[in-house]
Amino acid sequence: MSRTIKKISKKIGLHPGALVHVGDQKIDKPIIELVRYNENEFEEKRLQSMEEFISSRAENKITWLNIDGLHDVGVIETIGKQFNIHPLVLEDILNTEKRPLIEDYGDYIYMVAKMLSYDDEENIVKAEQVSVVLGNNYVVTFQESVGDVFNSVRERLRQGKGRIRKDGPDYLAYSLVDCIVDNYFIILEKFSESIEDIEEVLMNDFDQDIVEKIYRMKREMVLLRKSVWPLREVVIGLERFESTLINKSTIIYIRDLYDHTFQVIDTVETLSEMLSGILEIYLFSLSNKMNQVMKVLTIMASIFIPLTFIASIYGMNFEFMPELQSKYGYPIVLAFMISIVIFMIVLFKKKKWI
């Protein structure tokens, strides 16, 4: 967290639009990849510099320019001039701590998304910012470092499978963002597995299975909710769609269905609340049991420890202990002990511990 904020504070005090790269430098030299295609042709090469690009513009083709590495501000500026991108957008491209966003600048649309990868060694998620500029016949993408999740798009471009080569740059941009989103599932899978591992370890601590039972029910309830909630919108949709497919006379039945759906949702919510209530009760019952156990211990200890002390006094081997010679010493001590026991019991009764 503090690293993120530190990066941002790097920029404080500069005039807006000043180009400063706030991320870590992740590679030596920016890598510029150029892909040009239309339905029939496909061309792919790695450029040495932006000059090479400027001299090679081609008509009737869609251009995808991908830049890996943002620390070379000059390259970014050249691209900015080439595609007529506003300085503030360039600034945002360099500021790798942006939130995902979309902005329409008329001539082009600017999007920011986060490409995630899971670092198996450190068990953390790494986020890399991807900026996408979508123009009328080009897409420019900016990444912080080498390696991305776009290989399947590149492959589909090369092979011309599906609609991708037939459609415009908007379809390409869509495909790229789609890849980023799809990749999230891989990250989520890792998390999901870790959670299940921990769960299994924790569940071993319980002899009684009541916690496990409640917990499993809670989870089923989460899944239930995921089935039921969106259904409401389905039914609303049926009613609201001004489709000729839905007859007016059916609308009244659909409204009834909506009502049923709401009743299901209501019940799911009520049951969820009841489950939470039960967990609370379980916690109370744990505390209560502990109290019970502690009371037994305290009562036993409070009664017998003083008695043992008294007995141990008369177990001392001093030569001059007048009580020991007395004929009534033993019964008196016993009587005294019994009176202590009675006193203690009365006391605990009064405290309502017994």
In the complex, least distance from residue 339 CB atom to a copy of itself, rounded to whole angstroms: 15
| Binding flag, residue 262, a copy of itself (CB under 8 A) | yes
Q: Which is nearer to a copy of itself, 32 or 140 (CB)?
A: 140
Q: Which is nearer to a copy of itself, 28 or 230 (CB)?
A: 230
Given a contact cutoff of 8 angstroms between Cβ atoms, the answer to whether 68 and 146 are in contact is yes
Q: Which is nearer to a copy of itself, 40 or 318 (CB)?
A: 318
| Binding flag, residue 211, a copy of itself (CB under 8 A) | yes
Site for a copy of itself in 39-98 (CB under 8 A): 86, 88, 92, 97-98
Count of residues engaged in binding a copy of itself, rule: CB under 8 A? 183
| Binding flag, residue 168, a copy of itself (CB under 8 A) | yes
Map residues 190-209 to x or -, x wherever contact with a copy of itself holds by CB under 8 A.
-xxxxxx-xx-xxx-xx---
104 DSSP β-pair partners: 109
Q: Which is nearer to a copy of itself, 61 or 98 (CB)?
A: 98
| Binding flag, residue 119, a copy of itself (CB under 8 A) | no
Q: Which of 81, 288, 335, 342 binds a copy of itself (CB under 8 A)?
A: 288
Q: Which residue, 331, 354, 332, is CA-closest to 344?
A: 354
| Binding flag, residue 342, a copy of itself (CB under 8 A) | no
Q: Which residues of 167-194 are buried (b: 16+ CB within 10 A; e: fewer)?
A: eebebbbebbeebbeebeeeeeeeeeee
What single-letter amino acid sits at 199? E
DSSP 54-82: HTT--TTSEEEEEEE----HHHHHHHHHH
First to last CA, the chain: 54
Q: Which is nearer to a copy of itself, 78 or 117 (CB)?
A: 117
Give the alpha-carbon dihedral of 332, 333, 338, 339, to 10 degrees: 70
Residue 329 CA to residue 324 CA, distance in Å, equals 6
